[in-house]
């Protein structure tokens, strides 16, 4: 098994892969590191089979939808996840495998309603339910101190003490631990009554930062655009004791246009502006005639170039419809009144060519 932690900062992203089959899984990816992840996969000759979020994140925009769009890997979350773009919804006891490596899902709510732990033969990926020497907050959206107690002591405590522990965050430069060590040293993992635990956790409640509400809303809407939500860098924002949602970029309703309808429009005299929001390499490998290239990450900075199109038809295009939907949302919020996203993207366009 290949197992690596890919991020330089507090957010932890894990690569799990088979040396034999070259199939891979990426767990809890961060948008800002997408190109790095793709580079690692390419360098190691790996094929991304699944991308998994252990829960809906409040401190960063997930890259799972982007990796799903860029690679075709299936997006996996717990069945309670509110995201509309998840491919596979799992529950307690469900299992997937990658090159013969089993990954079993344990439902461990408390930090969020969709939190889960991934159980591998010799380790667990605990998301934000259990940190090394700490635990995730229960005072964010969907948090519940009683459920957190149940997850820790009814779900994780009975597991083998030798299991390595890899959380979704670490704010203290720790790499890994074992379940046995956490039982000995982690204050959240000391045996106490449920009522006592809940009272203690409730005493640690803090106000939820406004920027977190925006991040959560972005992730609910499968956001894939960096820089649209301000957030502090590497703040211990999801850890205990540290300290109606507002709309974000993707809170906009996006109107789709089908391939057949777009073809008819392109034959008319009322030609829309076509904006391809993929990466340059994708664009160069094939694009719709007349489409201009503005990669999704550059769109916000280039809105001024498009002012003359505020009241004209605009069609956004990507590989399969994910990035273009977000681009259409950005344009709509910026005052562009006639924006649509090509449903199914270039995959659907080429299929019908």
Say which CATH number the domain at 221 has.
3.60.15.10
Structure tokens at 232: 């502090």
pLDDT at 234: 41
In whole angstroms, what is the distance from residue 352 CA to residue 333 CA? 31
Instruction: Tell me the CA end-to-end span of the chain in Å, nearest whole number.
Output: 42
Does one domain contain both 223 and 347?
no
Sign of CA dihedral 96, 84, 314, 215: negative
C-alpha distances in angstroms, 101 versus 20, 98, 123, 146, 302? 11, 5, 12, 33, 45
In whole angstroms, what is the distance from residue 166 CA to residue 146 CA? 23
Domain that holds residue 112: 2-249
Does the predicted model carry a pTM greater than 0.85? no
Does one domain contain both 85 and 121?
yes
Last residue of a domain, one of 226, 249, 272: 249
Quote the number of domains for the chain.
2
Does one domain contain both 22 and 97?
yes
Element (H, E) at 338: strand 338-342
DSSP state of 158: T
Does one domain contain both 122 and 207?
yes
Last residue of a domain, one of 249, 267, 286: 249
Does one domain contain both 285 and 194?
no
List per-residue pLDDT tens for the chain, 353 residues long: 999 999 877 889 999 999 999 999 999 999 888 999 999 999 999 999 999 999 999 888 899 988 998 899 999 999 998 887 899 999 999 999 999 999 999 999 999 999 999 999 999 999 999 999 999 999 888 899 999 999 999 999 999 999 999 999 987 888 889 999 999 999 999 989 999 999 999 988 888 776 777 777 777 767 555 444 434 444 455 555 544 323 333 334 578 999 999 999 999 988 999 999 888 888 998 999 999 999 876 777 788 899 999 999 999 999 888 778 778 877 887 788 899 999 989 999 998 87
Q: How many CA atoms lie within 13 A of 248 on its CB side?
A: 26
Helices 34-44 and 64-71: angle between axes, nearest 10 degrees:
40
Does one domain contain both 90 and 227?
yes
Does one domain contain both 113 and 58?
yes
Does one domain contain both 285 and 270?
yes
- For every residue of 61-103, DSSP letters joined together read -BSHHHHHHHH-PEEEEETT---TT-SEEE-TT-EEEETTEEE
Last residue of a domain, one of 249, 277, 304: 249
Beta-carbon neighbour count of residue 351 at 10 Å? Answer: 9
57 φ, ψ to 5°? -80, 145
Does one domain contain both 158 and 281?
no
Does one domain contain both 155 and 285?
no
What residues pair up with 274 in beta bridges, in sequence order?
315
Question: Among all chains, which residue has been given the structure tokens 């009522």?
Answer: 195
Residue 10 CB contacts under 8 Å (≥ 6 apart), including other chains: 169, 170, 171, 234, 236
Question: Among all chains, which residue has been given the structure tokens 């990954």?
Answer: 103
CATH value at residue 266: 3.40.250.10
In whole angstroms, what is the distance from residue 330 CA to residue 339 CA? 10
Does one domain contain both 195 and 295?
no
Sign of CA dihedral 316, 327, 302, 294: negative
Does one domain contain both 153 and 134?
yes
Element (H, E) at 148: helix 145-150
């Amino acid at each position: 098994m290949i197992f690596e932690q890919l991020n330089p900062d507090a957010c932890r992203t894990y690569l799990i892969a088979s040396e034999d089959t070259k199939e891979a899984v990426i767990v809890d990816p961060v948008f800002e590191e997408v190109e790095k992840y793709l580079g690692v996969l390419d360098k190691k000759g790996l094929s991304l089979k699944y991308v998994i979020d252990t829960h809906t994140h409040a401190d960063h925009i997930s890259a799972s939808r982007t990796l799903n769009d860029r690679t075709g890997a299936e997006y996996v979350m717990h069945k309670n996840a509110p995201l509309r773009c998840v491919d596979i919804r799992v529950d307690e006891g469900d299992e997937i495998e990658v090159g013969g490596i089993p990954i079993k899902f344990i439902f461990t709510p408390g930090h969020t309603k969709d939190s889960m732990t991934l159980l591998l033969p010799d380790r667990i990926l605990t998301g934000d339910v259990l940190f090394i020497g700490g635990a995730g907050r229960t005072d964010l959206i969907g948090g519940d101190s009683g459920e957190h107690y149940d997850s820790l002591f009814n779900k994780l405590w009975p597991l083998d003490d030798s299991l390595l522990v890899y959380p979704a965050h670490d704010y203290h430069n720790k790499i890994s631990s074992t379940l046995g060590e956490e039982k000995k040293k982690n204050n959240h993992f000391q045996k106490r009554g449920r009522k006592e635990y809940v009272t203690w956790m409730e005493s640690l409640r803090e106000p939820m930062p406004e920027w977190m509400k925006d991040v959560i809303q972005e992730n609910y809407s499968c956001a894939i655009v960096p820089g649209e939500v301000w957030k502090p860098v590497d703040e211990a924002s999801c850890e205990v004791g540290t300290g109606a949602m507002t709309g974000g970029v993707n809170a906009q309703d996006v109107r789709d246009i089908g391939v057949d309808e777009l073809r008819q429009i392109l034959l008319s005299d009322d030609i829309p502006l076509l904006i391809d929001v993929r990466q340059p390499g994708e664009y160069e490998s094939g694009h719709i005639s007349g489409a201009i290239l503005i990669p999704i990450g550059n769109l916000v900075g280039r809105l001024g170039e498009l002012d003359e199109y505020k009241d004209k038809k605009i069609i956004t295009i990507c590989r399969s419809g994910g990035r273009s939907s977000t681009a259409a949302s950005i344009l709509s919020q910026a005052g562009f009144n006639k924006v649509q996203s090509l449903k199914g993207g270039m995959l659907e366009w080429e299929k019908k060519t």
